[in-house]
Amino acid sequence: MGAPAMKARPTRPAPRAAAQAAAQRPARAGPRKGRFQRNFKISIDVLMLGLFLYLMSYHPGGGLLWHAVLGCVLVLLFVLHHALNWHWHRTLLSGRYNLRRVLTTGTDVLLLLAMGAVIVSSYKIASMALPFEFLPPPRGWWRDLHMAATAWCFVLMAFHLGLHLHNTLSKWECALSARGVGAREAFWGLELVVLVGGGYSFWYHHLGSDLLMVPTRPLSLPDWLFYSEFALIIMGFAVVTHWLLTALTPPRSTPRRSMGRPR
């Protein structure tokens, strides 16, 4: 008698063939949708910052009605920004708070309050730009509050941006450290120059007096010089925030491998 016939086992596809078949499948729309949402949020933030700086460059005779209209656009973008980041509101009282989250959340809350003061003071002095009057004068105190709240918004925005740029600056420093001591020290020297330039521009534009609600004489500068100096102030705040987090945050240690049996 011959040997009994063996049942043929179903053949499995080879690993290489399975990988090729998986690569030919259409990609899911999830990552692409998430990337689009992230880029859209960044675009809104950049547009808000640019519009805010444009509104800060206003000087007497520059068109108060146009200033008021663009201010309303900024408020709408601010509302859209919080609608897109509604998850931050829902998780505000949940989770653990480390140093980084305390600084970030505290800055965001203060920025929200400062922006609220800007909106309220704008509402009070709207009759200076519009043909009708919401509330009776005096408007001088509300104008001083508007200037002070605007200065606080700018400083908190710069500090908030510095918190988000800390990881990027740390990566740059690590990459330069791998190239040698000279490159790293040159980067530190560049940060110091930016810090000094930003500090001088902060003093020159009387932002400290504006933060304390002290009336100052407005400066009349060319647009390119105004935007350059305020961009330098933002970069200076980014350097200060980076140095502060570097000093307060302990360096990450590489995790040790477990000596147990492999599972």
**Which SS3 state, helix, strand or coil, does residue 145 take?**
helix
The confidence score (pLDDT) of residue 257 equals 45
pLDDT at 19 over 70: no
Contact, 236 vs 199, CB < 8 A? yes
For 261, other C-beta atoms within 10 Å of its C-beta total: 5
**Which two tokens mark 177?**
């450290």
Distances (CA, A) of 117 to 49, 156, 162: 18, 14, 23
pLDDT in tens, 127-136: 666 655 555 5
Region 36-40: mean pLDDT is: 84
Per-residue DSSP letter, 6: P
Region 237-250: mean pLDDT is: 87
Distances (CA, A) of 125 to 71, 132, 183: 12, 11, 52
Q: What is the mean pLDDT of the chain?
A: 79
The confidence score (pLDDT) of residue 142 equals 81
Rounded-to-integer distance, Cα 226 and Cα 46, Å: 18
Distances (CA, A) of 243 to 166, 238, 240, 247, 258: 9, 9, 5, 6, 34
pLDDT at 184 over 90: no
pLDDT in tens, 91-101: 888 888 888 88
Q: What element of type H or E holds 40?
A: helix 30-56
For 6, other C-beta atoms within 10 Å of its C-beta total: 6
Question: If we measure between CA atoms, which residue out of 42, 44, 53 comes closest to residue 232?
Answer: 53
pTM above 0.85, yes or no: no
